[in-house]
């Protein structure tokens, strides 16, 4: 059983449950994937499986080491690779290089974590980026959207790491935990998960079985 699967975000819609409840869902094109490498504690120092989303990419657009790595698993053209750590020791019939991973390994009502790259918003100030309230906009105030004090001058005479300030917003790896699988379409390799997932439509996502 695979610990996860790779895919693409298609978009959002809604479905109706049997009791008439409306559920917002995100449609994910999950797989097909191929196992490009099986790592073991004996050879690599830890137990993991590397999956590749089966999408064609020209060899001329890839590095020679990447082409040689994929050729070993008969997975030429795969360009999106991700690794999943395994907790249990390998057993007979476990995943090995060249095996296929499809959406049928996941079932409705199962919980998954979805990992993606959030939409990039460029440079943003503290009001938008960190939801600061801002100061008064009346009575001659000249201090509307500034962050305020970022540290004392005498001691410690420096800005502490992690201080909330303006800067790059979005475009970061984001994980949404414990999303419920509402429906699985085995024929089209489509998985519908309840709620929103990070990233734009067409962005790559990683689905892994929930750890919590």
Assigned token pair, 105: 């390994």
Band (pLDDT 50/70/90 cuts) for residue 40 is confident
Instruction: Give me the residues paired with residue 173 across strands.
Output: 117
Closest CA to 181 of 146, 211, 209: 209
Assigned token pair, 103: 């959406």
- pTM given for the model: 0.80
Look at the domain 4-120+173-209 and name its fold.
Answer: Elongation Factor Tu (Ef-tu); domain 3 (2.40.30)
Query: pLDDT at position 77, please?
Result: 74
Tell me the per-residue pLDDT of 4-39, one tens digit each, with 9 for 90 and over.
Answer: 899 999 999 999 988 888 999 999 998 788 888 888
Query: pLDDT at position 201, please?
Result: 93
Of all residues in the chain, what percent carry a pLDDT higher than 70? 97
Query: pLDDT at position 91, please?
Result: 45
Query: pLDDT at position 88, please?
Result: 62
Query: pLDDT at position 90, please?
Result: 47
As annotated, the residues of the chain forming the CATH 2.40.30.10 domain(s) are 4-120+173-209
């Amino acid at each position: 059983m695979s610990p996860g699967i790779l895919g693409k975000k298609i978009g959002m819609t809604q479905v109706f449950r049997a009791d008439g409840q409306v559920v917002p869902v995100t449609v994910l094109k999950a797989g097909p994937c191929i196992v490009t490498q099986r790592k073991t504690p004996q050879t690599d120092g830890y137990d993991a499986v590397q999956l590749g989303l089966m999408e064609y990419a020209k060899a001329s657009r890839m590095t020679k080491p990447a082409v040689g790595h994929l050729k070993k698993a008969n997975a030429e053209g795969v360009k999106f690779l991700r690794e999943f750590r395994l907790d249990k020791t390998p057993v007979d019939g476990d995943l090995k290089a060249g095996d296929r991973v499809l959406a049928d390994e996941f079932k409705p009502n199962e919980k998954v974590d979805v990992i993606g790259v959030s939409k990039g918003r460029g440079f943003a100030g503290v009001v938008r980026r960190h939801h600061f309230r801002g100061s008064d906009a009346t009575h001659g105030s000249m201090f509307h959207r500034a962050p305020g004090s970022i540290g004392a001058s005498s001691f410690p005479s420096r800005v502490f790491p992690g201080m909330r300030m303006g800067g790059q917003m979005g475009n970061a790896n984001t994980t949404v935990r414990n999303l419920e699988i509402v429906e699985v379409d085995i024929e089209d390799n489509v998985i519908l998960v309840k709620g929103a997932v990070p990233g734009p439509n067409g962005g790559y996502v990683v689905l892994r079985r929930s750890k919590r």
